Amino acid sequence: MTFRMTHSTAVVLHALAAGDAHGFRLMEATGLAGGTVYPALRRLEAAELAQSYWEEPEAARDRGRPARKYYGITETGTAALDAAAARYRLLRHSAAPEPSRS
């Protein structure tokens, strides 16, 4: 199966290039709605362009919230992002959004 990189998926992957982030942070960084970001993350994971992991429950509990699922870009994802930047000109000229740590 060939992975088809849509513009919105490329934008999410571009945001992941700035560092691991949870879904809400990616929504803030990209300006995309959750109904776009989360399906894109599932597609990126299925294609092994991104990977996810859960935050340690104790760290979340210390902050008074549930554990968050974080996503990060893989080496294959970095190569795919380079190819997407060639296809989508705006990605070429924009820096990856800075992740905020919270």
- 33-66 pLDDT, tens digit per residue, is 999 999 999 999 999 999 999 999 999 999 999 9
Residue 76 is classified by DSSP as H
**List of domains in the chain:** 7-93 (1.10.10.10)
Here the tokens at position 41 are 């993350």
Task: Say what the pTM is.
Answer: 0.83
Q: How confident is the model at residue 91 (pLDDT cuts 50, 70, 90)?
A: low
pLDDT value, residue 83: 87
Task: Enumerate helices (H) and strands (E) in the chain, giving the number of each.
Answer: 6, 3
Rounded-to-integer distance, Cα 64 and Cα 58, Å? 10
pLDDT value, residue 98: 54
Report the pLDDT averaged over residues 14-30. 95
pLDDT value, residue 86: 82
